[in-house]
């Protein structure tokens, strides 16, 4: 049986792994079969992670975190978790090959998933002109006119990045004011290739094998208009990935995993949660990393107390 299994390989998971491994707990990490590294793998330049004054590419940062975690003894498995049995003293984690892995403690750090608009055409055209990852798909839109939906930092980042390829980028936002930080807003405002379409939501996305246009609806008076684009990037935020723990761990009103105060302790003893999956507010790489630290320290204390209790029982027997 393992001491700790970590589920998720973003900044929270890897930081938890670094701490747990350095504490000699030899963690096993499930890093996903396709998406190791989490959201930062889809980011370009990360300028606000302390220690990198010149900035660092998201994938490079994640690779360094992985190297650091493995250097101290983390075993990283490129597989998905399909089921969890969290009751009792021994936690059971089933991977996609059907193997059941046992551990005394679990750190759940699965991050969040891209939110969808829910407009007709979006689902069908995802991967065929509709995307949530400018870094992955921007290259396909050279000299084309495309749209980015959203008004937060992600939308500004995606729009700015996409101007490297596209000839024109519309940013469609449902209000007349952005949610993004001032510096990201200014960068987008200063970019001649970006044009903002305010107070508008997506009514539908048109096309058969690729995007041919979209219909916008005014959030002020409901009038509809057409926009000729060949690509749509959806950047309207993320939702915590909690599907594996529904009915097993308590969730908050906003759908994140509930933890005890500032700790990472979930509603089930021996199960700890960290990163975007517990955080509806800050959701930064550095806060996720800090949260991963908290989870590793909480798990370490839990395991030490457990061992101490076992020794006491043994001594009194
Ligand atoms: P976000 O801050 O939650 O912003 C989501 C945006 O999408 C908001 O403008 C929101 O509109 C809009 N939106 C939400 N649901 C919508 C819907 N159904 N239809 C149309 N528009 C919708 O999400 P985010 O931009 O992904 O950022 C998430 C976190 O990551 C933030 O903390 C952000 O600072 C951070 N981040 C940082 C960087 C960076 O520093 N380099 C880059 C990316 C993200 P309203 O404004 O009307 O709510």
The model's pLDDT over 158-204, given as tens digits with 9 standing for 90+, comes to 999 999 999 999 999 999 999 999 999 999 999 999 999 999 999 99
If we measure between CA atoms, which residue out of 44, 48, 55 comes closest to residue 157? Answer: 44
Answer whether 167 contacts ligand 1 (Cβ < 6 A): no
What is the average per-residue pLDDT within 58-81?
A: 96
From the CA of 155, how far away is ligand 1's center (Å)?
A: 7
If we measure between CA atoms, which residue out of 90, 108, 114 comes closest to residue 30? Answer: 108
Radius of gyration for the alpha carbons in the chain, expressed in angstroms and rounded: 22
pLDDT in tens, 51-69: 999 999 989 999 999 999 9
pLDDT of residue 317: 66
Atom 41 of ligand 1, nearest CA residue: 46
| Tokens representing residue 231 in the block | 């690509």
Side-chain-side CA neighbours of 298 within 13 Å: the count stands at 25
Return the best residue to mutate from 44, 46, 116, 150 for the ligand 1 pocket (most ligand atoms within 8 A of CB): 150
Residue 150 CA: which ligand 1 atom is closest?
A: 7
pLDDT in tens, 275-313: 999 998 888 899 999 999 999 999 999 999 998 988 888
For residue 133, pLDDT over 90 is answered with no
- The enclosing H or E element of 238 equals strand 238-240
- Is 136 annotated as catalytic? yes
Question: Coil, strand or helix: which one is 185?
Answer: helix
Return the best residue to mutate from 152, 184, 196, 198 for the ligand 1 pocket (most ligand atoms within 8 A of CB): 152
pLDDT in tens, 243-267: 999 999 999 999 999 999 999 999 9
pLDDT in tens, 137-154: 899 999 999 999 999 999
pTM of the model: 0.80
Answer whether 283 contacts ligand 1 (Cβ < 6 A): yes
pLDDT in tens, 93-131: 999 999 999 999 999 999 998 899 999 999 999 989 999
What is the average per-residue pLDDT within 233-239?
A: 93
pLDDT of residue 37: 83
Helices (H), 127-266: 134-137, 153-162, 182-189
Question: Coil, strand or helix: which one is 64?
Answer: helix
Residue 181 CA: which ligand 1 atom is closest?
A: 34
- Is 250 annotated as catalytic? no
CA distance 294 to 314: 30
Please pick, among 83, 87, 97, 136, the residue that the annotation labels catalytic.
136
pLDDT of residue 67: 98
pLDDT of residue 209: 92
CA distance 233 to 138: 9
Please pick, among 137, 153, 276, 279, the residue that the annotation labels catalytic.
137
From the CA of 238, how far away is ligand 1's center (Å)?
A: 8
- Is 260 annotated as catalytic? no
Residue whose tokens read 């009915």: 247
CA distance 86 to 88: 7
Atom 4 of ligand 1, nearest CA residue: 152
């Amino acid at each position: 049986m393992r001491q700790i299994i970590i589920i998720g390989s973003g900044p929270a998971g890897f930081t938890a792994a670094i701490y747990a491994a350095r504490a000699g707990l030899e963690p096993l990490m499930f890093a996903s079969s396709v998406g190791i590294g989490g959201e930062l793998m889809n980011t370009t330049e990360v300028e606000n992670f302390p220690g990198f004054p010149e900035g660092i590419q998201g994938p490079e940062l994640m690779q360094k975190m992985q190297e650091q975690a493995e250097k101290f003894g983390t075993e990283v498995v490129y597989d998905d978790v399909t089921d969890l049995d969290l009751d009792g003293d021994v936690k059971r984690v089933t991977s996609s090959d059907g193997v059941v892995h046992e551990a005394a403690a679990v750190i759940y750090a699965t991050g969040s998933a891209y939110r969808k608009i829910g407009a007709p055409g979006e689902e069908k055209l995802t991967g065929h002109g509709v995307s949530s990852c400018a870094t992955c798909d921007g290259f396909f839109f050279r000299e084309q006119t495309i749209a980015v939906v959203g008004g937060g930092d992600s939308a500004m980042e995606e729009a700015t990045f996409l101007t490297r390829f596209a000839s024109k980028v519309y940013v469609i936002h449902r209000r007349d004011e952005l949610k993004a930080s001032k510096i990201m807003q200014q960068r987008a405002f200063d970019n001649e290739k970006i044009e903002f379409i305010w107070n508008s939501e997506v009514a539908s996305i048109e096309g058969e094998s690729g995007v041919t246009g979209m219909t916008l609806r005014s959030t002020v008076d409901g009038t509809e208009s057409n926009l000729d684009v060949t690509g749509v990037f959806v950047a309207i935020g993320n939702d915590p990935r909690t599907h594996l723990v529904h009915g097993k761990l308590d969730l908050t009103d906003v759908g994140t995993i509930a933890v005890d105060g500032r700790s990472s302790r979930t509603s089930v003893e021996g199960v700890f949660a960290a990163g975007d999956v517990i955080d509806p507010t800050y959701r930064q790489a550095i806060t996720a990393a800090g949260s991963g630290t908290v989870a590793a320290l909480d798990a370490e204390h839990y395991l030490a107390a457990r061992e101490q209790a076992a020794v006491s029982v043994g001594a009194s027997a």
